[in-house]
Structure 1
């Protein structure tokens, strides 16, 4: 069988963000606003921050945020939009399969951290869990199934792990962690081109005890 050429992840995502002046709405992810509003602000890590909507919202709520993405294009837009909130946000470029931000965090957020190419996602999420401080929260939201506006091909070939599969892949040590929530949840949403539809999210919240 022919050997696949390695994918330049940074170039791929720069090309994706280069398709339009803006890819996302600029609003925070709905689940983030729903869940994090109940937490006391501290230090947050936003994995796959994109154009910075979540990072800006967290900063507005009083969090100090390290916001990470592999795409220079996305990070440049996020920094340009931060305005006075830039004092609370440290934008960093990382290919998370290669490098990871230093430090520990009261909140580690991975919102829709999917990839169109194969990668070791479970390993990355375990590394994310390691970055959660004692008493802190690991908050993961995934697509539970393809959005209604996804192409038929994407719906057919992409596997969306269940919430329990994500929890199992994390391999969290029960004496050190509480699984607060791990379930499918529906919501109404608007796609990047203005489409409306019903989405299914997998919501995983784990709190570190020790």
Structure 2
């Protein structure tokens, strides 16, 4: 998987654009500024947006090329962020350290989904927020009609609201929905997409 993402991000162009995901921006702007964990941050468009708005950002991804692009974008915008490279299972994140976590199109292997969610839960402070958007299992039909719709082609890699509730059902769920959106995020996320979204707050001690 690392080679696939390195090859994609080696493109001089920012393949998902330089602007943040619209849903992430909308939800982040509602939160008090603090520290945020950004798994699967790719070329850094979302992590850099958070940093520009005063957040202390820790991003991670499999791709060294993604890190290079993210640091380039951060320099363009006059901010800094910590960016770790490696599989999230192999990286070490402090417990109860982050005020928020952004999971934006963080598609992983099916057997890693619950592990990713557990890692995020451990890393969030009590009262911390998770912002999630990714392709839902309904997205397959859009991929069949539009090759630039984006996302994994295997339905098992896609998400459902039920899966999110299995991991975050004990949170204060402020938003949970499966919906369709019009995408214009670089060359890989264009056209109609089916997504699942979650905003939840970790219980206070």
Answer whether TM exceeds 0.5 for this pair.
Answer: yes
Q: Which runs of 4+ in 1 moved over 4 A?
A: none
CA 19–125 in structure 1, closer or farther in 2 if over 3 Å, else same: same
Q: Partner of 1:189 in structure 2?
A: 183
With 103-112 and 118-127 compared, the bigger mean Cα shift is at 118-127
Determine if the alignment matches structure 1 residue 37 to structure 2 residue 35: no
Q: Partner of 1:150 in structure 2?
A: 147
Higher relative contact order (CA 8 A, sep 6+): 2
For residues 53-202 of structure 1, the aligned pairs below 5 Å read 53-83=45-75, 84-86=78-80, 89-103=81-95, 104-115=97-108, 118-144=110-136, 145-146=139-140, 147-148=142-143, 149-150=146-147, 157-159=154-156, 160-168=158-166, 170=167, 172=169, 174=170, 177-190=171-184, 192-193=186-187, 196-202=190-196
Give the TM-score, by structure 2 length. 0.83
Is this contact kept in 2: 1:10–1:95, CA < 8 A?
Answer: no
- Deviation of 1:106 after TM superposition, in Å, equals 0.4
Deviations 1:53-90 (A, max 9, x none): 1011101211110011110000011112212201xx11
Per the alignment, in what secondary structure is the counterpart of residue 14 of structure 1?
Answer: helix
Structure 2 gaps of 5+ residues are: none
Deviations 1:169-210 (A, max 9, x none): x165x3xx3122221132211253388522222011120122
Per the alignment, in what secondary structure is the counterpart of residue 37 of structure 2?
Answer: strand
Structure 1 gaps of 5+ residues are: 1-8
Is this contact kept in 2: 1:126–1:171, CA < 8 A?
Answer: no
Count residues in correspondence: 194
CA 78–156 in structure 1, closer or farther in 2 if over 3 Å, else same: closer
Of 40, 43, 64, 1:51 maps to 43
Distance 2:49 2:186 in 1: 19
